[in-house]
């Protein structure tokens, strides 16, 4: 069996070598089709994985209690309604944690901006977050050097911070040197106890841990006008609890805490990070559908080209086919021989398409904000499509060869 397959492969390569231009032009459609579908599949898969990873970092199974709904909430009239709402408070986060049955973790965060200084170096307008203790249970905060804030520091509102990687590089060049240093945050001196690992930028916004600093919410309350700080509460539920159940429970808890009457509207928003996943799935599906449409057109054109090559090959080898059948070759053997050759031709065309995709991934990765990669499923898909197109394109000429009368075939010489 192996020798049979090897013989067919050699015949295919001989056909390619003897008729380079004709074969190349016929395989060009296959190459373009594979290039289209694999490049689009690789790009959308990479983009989707990056976005889902970013969503996971923001917080899966997590509801954000905020003033504004995600997306801003509409026109100017709506904006004025939302801006007049009270900011979520640390005390409300503590109340939610006590009252909620579905909450696995509850954390509070508020943010402000100020200059940060160390010796002669100054960073202007640095964003800093005041966070509660369970913040790192919902968000992925990876520490490069030093440590995270301790329970005692959270409880006491100690003047300590975790500094973002890029801020540490700008102030100290070597981020590990930041640990143990006292920097000035606004008009306050704060001890650096940890530095985060470099996280990079997210495609969907969210946390930019590289360029922020984190202090405890109670320390934030001491050094800033807590009443006017923008803040929000994060509530993470268990994996087996639908977010709709959590949203319903939180609405009741927040309305009770804020003493809203049944006729009053909510003066808070309950935002679900994963609510847009359905529309995102639809977007990627439509992009892939467009890629498949272009690819199928190219593959059909390429399939006709391969079929044409195979009809020409059958005509050129008619006497040889007659001799093979005269000495006992079966129809199935002749059929398999030409189908394999057709499949090999399509695989060669597919490999050309893949070779064109590989440099494209490097170019796109350098231009876009995420890395494009080729998965094994992409390679498997391309090989499957090539074999399928090869069989479909070669079935008619292979059937014609298998049905030849050996005497008439030999006389055709």
pLDDT, tens only, 72-121: 655 566 777 788 888 898 899 999 999 999 999 999 998 888 889 988 88
pLDDT value at 277 more than 70: no
Question: What is the rounded distance in angstroms from the CA atom of residue 186 to the CA atom of residue 390?
Answer: 69
pLDDT, tens only, 353-365: 888 888 888 877 7
Q: Quick check: is 397 in a domain?
A: yes
Same domain flag for 154 and 262: yes
Same domain flag for 221 and 246: yes
Nearest C-alpha neighbor of 109 from the set 61, 162, 152: 162
Domain residues for the domain of 180 are: 86-267
pLDDT value at 41 more than 90: no
**Distance between alpha carbon 185 and the CA centroid of its chain, in Å?**
36
Structure-block tokens of residue 291: 């890629």
Same domain flag for 29 and 123: no
pLDDT value at 284 more than 80: no
Return all residues near 122 (Cβ < 8 A) that are at least 6 apart. 115, 116
Q: Quick check: is 274 in a domain?
A: no
Same domain flag for 231 and 261: yes
Spell 259-281 as b/e; 16+ CB within 10 A means b. eeeeeeeeebbbbbbbeeeeebe
Same domain flag for 36 and 120: no
pLDDT, tens only, 118-136: 888 888 888 888 999 999 8
Same domain flag for 326 and 233: no
Full DSSP string of 299-330 = HHHHHHHHHHHHHHHHHHTHHHHHHHHHTT--
Nearest C-alpha neighbor of 180 from the set 170, 195, 164: 195
Q: Tell me, what's the pLDDT at 409?
A: 67
0.85 exceeded by the pTM? no
Same domain flag for 27 and 105: no
Same domain flag for 96 and 41: no
What is the CB-side half-sphere exposure of residue 327 using CA atoms within 13 A? Answer: 5
Banded pLDDT at 9 (limits 50, 70, 90): low
Q: Tell me, what's the pLDDT at 228?
A: 59
Same domain flag for 226 and 111: yes
Q: Quick check: is 201 in a domain?
A: yes
Average pLDDT, the chain: 80
- Range 205-218 average pLDDT: 82
């Amino acid at each position: 069996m192996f020798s049979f397959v090897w013989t067919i492969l050699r015949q295919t390569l001989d056909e390619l070598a003897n008729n380079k231009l004709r074969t190349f032009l016929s395989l060009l459609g296959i190459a373009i089709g594979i290039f289209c579908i694999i490049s689009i599949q690789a790009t959308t898969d990479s983009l989707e994985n990056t976005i889902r990873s970013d969503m996971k970092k923001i917080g899966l199974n997590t509801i954000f209690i905020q003033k504004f709904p995600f997306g801003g909430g509409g026109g100017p009239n709506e904006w004025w309604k939302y801006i007049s709402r009270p900011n979520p408070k640390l005390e409300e986060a503590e109340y939610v944690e006590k009252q909620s049955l579905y909450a696995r973790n509850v954390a509070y965060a508020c943010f402000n901006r100020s200059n940060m200084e160390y010796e002669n170096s100054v960073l202007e307008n640095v964003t800093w977050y005041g966070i509660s203790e369970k913040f790192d249970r919902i968000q992925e905060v990876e520490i490069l050097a030093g440590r995270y804030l301790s329970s005692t520091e959270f409880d006491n509102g100690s003047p300590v911070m975790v500094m973002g990687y890029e801020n540490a590089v700008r102030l100290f060049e070597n981020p590990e040197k930041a640990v143990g240093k006292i920097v000035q945050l606004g008009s306050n001196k704060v001890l650096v106890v940890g530095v985060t690992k470099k996280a990079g930028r997210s495609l969907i916004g969210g946390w930019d841990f590289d360029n922020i600093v984190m202090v405890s919410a109670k320390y934030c309350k001491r050094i800033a006008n807590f009443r006017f700080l923008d803040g929000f509460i994060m509530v993470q539920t268990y994996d087996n609890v639908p977010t709709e159940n959590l949203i319903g429970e939180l609405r009741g808890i927040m309305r009770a805490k804020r003493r809203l009457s049944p006729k009053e509207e909510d003066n808070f928003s309950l935002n679900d990070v994963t609510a847009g996943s359905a529309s995102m799935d639809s977007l990627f599906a439509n992009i892939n559908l467009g890629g498949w449409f272009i690819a199928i057109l190219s593959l059909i054109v390429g399939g006709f080209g391969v079929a044409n090559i195979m009809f020409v090959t059958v005509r050129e080898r008619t006497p040889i086919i007659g001799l093979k059948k005269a000495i006992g070759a079966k129809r199935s053997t002749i059929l398999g021989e030409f189908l394999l050759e057709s499949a090999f031709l399509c695989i060669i065309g597919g490999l050309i398409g893949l070779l064109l995709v590989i440099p494209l991934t490097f170019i796109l990765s350098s231009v876009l904000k995420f890395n494009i990669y080729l998965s094994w499923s992409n390679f498997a898909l391309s090989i499957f499509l090539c074999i399928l197109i090869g069989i479909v394109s070669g079935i008619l000429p292979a059937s014609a060869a298998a049905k030849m009368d050996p005497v008439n075939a030999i006389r055709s010489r």
